[in-house]
Structure 1
Amino acid sequence: MFASRTPVRALRRAVPLTAVTVAGLLGLTACGGSDGAATTGGRGGGTEVVASFYPMAWLAQKVGGPDVSVATLTKPGAEPHDLELTPRQVVDIGEADFAVYVKGVQPAVDKAVDQHAKDKSLDAASAVKTLPAAAGEDGHDHEHGHDEGHGEDEHGHESEVSYDPHVWLDPSRMAAIATTLGDRLAAADSAHAAGYKSRAQALATELNRLDQAFRDGLKSCRRDTIVTAHAAFGYLADRYGLKQVSIAGVDPSNEPSPARLGELSREIKAAGATTVFTETLVSPKVAQTLAREAGVRTAVLDPVEGVKEGSGDDYISIMRRNLDTLRPALECS
């Protein structure tokens, strides 16, 4: 069971920060109180969970229910790949009861969790089979960690993974992650174990129904190529027999050269694709330019990396809208 919240909680023993260091970090952020993680859902007390960005926060809240309060490190509507942690957020990660994240999406979060919350966290990618970083177009699954290596992303951040981290875009994998999260929370907070496991099972069932809707909706289509703004949809493509052609790589901020745009235009025409898919959190300009050059239309395919406040959307509704967008683009019967 989690340590009780006594002053300077016992959990702080897992954080290699002295009292002086913590005070210094808090002082650095005193003029920017909004830099901490934003609490979303749950009650004021309960198990404190820090989630890296929206899909992990959604999972934590659904599985945790009234027994957790969830704080999200990425602000609503912000592009998660661009996240840089403030000193206050690093402290938040260390002080939380549990952290849930996807290793490889946000290098700053990976580093902070490894240093301050390694023994009280879940890397969602560790709960499922992962695909290679090149969007998984070879069609082969690889166990998480088998192909790990060191490199840098487009921002120069050190990266320790070579697999595609966008595991949440396959509902069946999300179901597996939900089950694992339920087990982990139940083991850590035994007083509420039954609730965690029950909610995790219910969520997995809902996600498996969503998976079946995708399987049914995409099983008979004239086309199988999806042209995406960045390489976020490799798991969706792999699960439902599609081929992803992406404008940018894993990080959407890396714009293609004119030569690459010309190559993409030729690929679109060769595949007979009808649509270039834009996203909700990044500029659509490059995708729109490519669509004009290729003579096709654009539509929004949401990678569910963030949800704007007040939209009324959640993971399930966004993914169902994605299915409704894919079916006409792929000319599915």
Structure 2
Amino acid sequence: MQKAVRALLLTTALLSADTIAARAETPDVVVSIKPIHSLVAAIMQGVGEPALIVEGGASPHTYALKPSNAAALQDADVVFWVGHGLEAFLEKPLEALGDKATVVELEDAPGLEKLPFREGGPFEAHAHEGEDGHDHAHGEEGHDHDKEAEGDHAGHAGEAGHEGHEHGAFDMHLWLSPDNARAIAAEATRVLSEKDPDNADAYKANLAALTEKLGTLDKEIAATIAPVKDKPFIVFHDAYQYFEHHYGVNTAGSITVSPETMPGAARLTEIREKVKTLGATCVFAEPQFEPKLVNVVIEGTEAKSGTLDPEAATLEPGADLYFTLMRSIATSLRDCLGQAS
């Protein structure tokens, strides 16, 4: 009996050691922001849990690295971030890692659609006939730089957090297109499979499942916004160009270039005039930032206000967050623009 107990204990100890060893071989993965973390978490389901840097209601535009974040980076085997134009606070810490971790800048992922950064307040209209059967304004190349409000982005390339936002640079809110989400997930799968070949089959199976779910989500969102997609609206900052381009919604302008660059009086006047011209429209705030600028531009107009959350500030992190994020944007657009009609 004692021999049997000892044998059982030995077997249990060996199994526990094997489990610990297997866990130790799973790479430590760190992800910068919630939407990207959600996609990576979906790829890693059943294998491991990625760590998140920008937690809670914080914004990558204004984030300061915490000691706990620095510790996570030091232990990381793989780090996923969007790139220099979004999470500028990560530039020096990632440089300091050297070759200790595989750092993946997702703006370079194969298959991404990348749209030029816009700075003008009202986005100048130009048609994209033949794209998914609709015409809509984007301003990718056609907005008039001569009309940009003086002082709103002077010296913008040197401002904290936006070294990459020079003329000709790309909009970094890449995840707000399901096509780009697929490309980001595919790149995460490739990197993780190379780093952790023992779990490559699991990563690839998770990618297949995620791709199918994204296809279903895409159709759902298109149906949700179909009744209001031609109605123009104003956003707090120009974070929605990829959503706009993919679904054909009619973003007419943004109050500010980026949240840490507050607009000058000229830009606010320009946007206010645009709101008056549009009449019954919606102007959307964001949960991380004071809504007073939205109140300024809609005061005395027929416009209504709503809230959009492009960086998922109000959502709990996890593999399902991306789907909740995209649905909430679509629902907010439908509900506010439906009232404004």
Superposition TM-score tier, normalisation by shorter sequence = 0.7 to 0.9
Give the superposed CA RMSD.
Answer: 3.0
TM-aligned CA distance change 1:296 to 1:45, over 3 Å? farther
Structure with the higher fraction of residues in strand conformation: 1
Aligned-residue offset at 1:207: 1.6
Query: Distance between the aligned counterparts of 1:97 and 1:71, measured in 2?
Result: 11
Give percent identity, aligned residues only. Answer: 26
Other-structure match for 1:170: 177
Q: Does 1:77 align with 2:53?
A: no
Q: Does 1:122 align with 2:126?
A: no
Aligned-residue offset at 1:132: 0.7
Q: How does 1:160-199 map to 2 (within 5 A)?
A: 160=164, 162-199=169-206
TM-aligned CA distance change 1:44 to 1:285, over 3 Å? farther
Aligned-residue offset at 1:286: 0.8
Question: Where in structure 1 are there 5+ consecutive unaligned residues?
Answer: 1-42, 141-150
Q: Does 1:246 align with 2:254?
A: yes
TM-aligned CA distance change 1:330 to 1:295, over 3 Å? closer
Count the aligned residue pairs: 280
Aligned-residue offset at 1:228: 0.6
Aligned-residue offset at 1:312: 12
**Letter of the aligned partner of 1:156 in structure 2?**
A
Other-structure match for 1:205: 212
Other-structure match for 1:133: 117
Aligned-residue offset at 1:253: 2.6
Structure with bigger gyration radius: 2
Q: Alpha-carbon deviations, 1:169-188, whole Å to 9, x = none?
A: 11221122112211211111
Other-structure match for 2:90: 109
**Is 286-295 or 323-332 further displaced after alignment?**
323-332
Q: Alpha-carbon deviations, 1:235-265, whole Å to 9, x = none?
A: 111111234311111x213222232222112
Q: How does 1:45-60 map to 2 (within 5 A)?
A: 46-60=26-40
Larger RCO of the pair (alpha carbons < 8 Å, separation 6+): 2
Aligned-residue offset at 1:72: 1.3
Contact 2:229–2:249 under 8 Å retained in 1: no
Q: How does 1:60-71 map to 2 (within 5 A)?
A: 60-71=40-51
Q: How does 1:1-333 map to 2 (within 5 A)?
A: 46-86=26-66, 89-90=69-70, 92-103=72-83, 104-116=85-97, 120-127=102-109, 128-134=112-118, 137-139=138-140, 152=156, 155-157=159-161, 159-160=163-164, 162-221=169-228, 223-244=230-251, 245-249=253-257, 251-272=258-279, 274-308=281-315, 314-331=321-338
Query: Distance between the aligned counterparts of 2:265 and 2:24, measured in 1?
Result: 52
Q: Alpha-carbon deviations, 1:209-251, whole Å to 9, x = none?
A: 21222223334547342311111101111111234311111x2
Q: Alpha-carbon deviations, 1:269-317, whole Å to 9, x = none?
A: 3334511111122111111221224331111112134345599982212
Query: Distance between the aligned counterparts of 1:175 and 1:55, measured in 2?
Result: 12
Aligned-residue offset at 1:95: 2.8
Query: What TM-score do the two structures reach when normalised by structure 2?
Result: 0.72
Query: What TM-score do the two structures reach when normalised by structure 1?
Result: 0.74
Aligned-residue offset at 1:330: 4.0
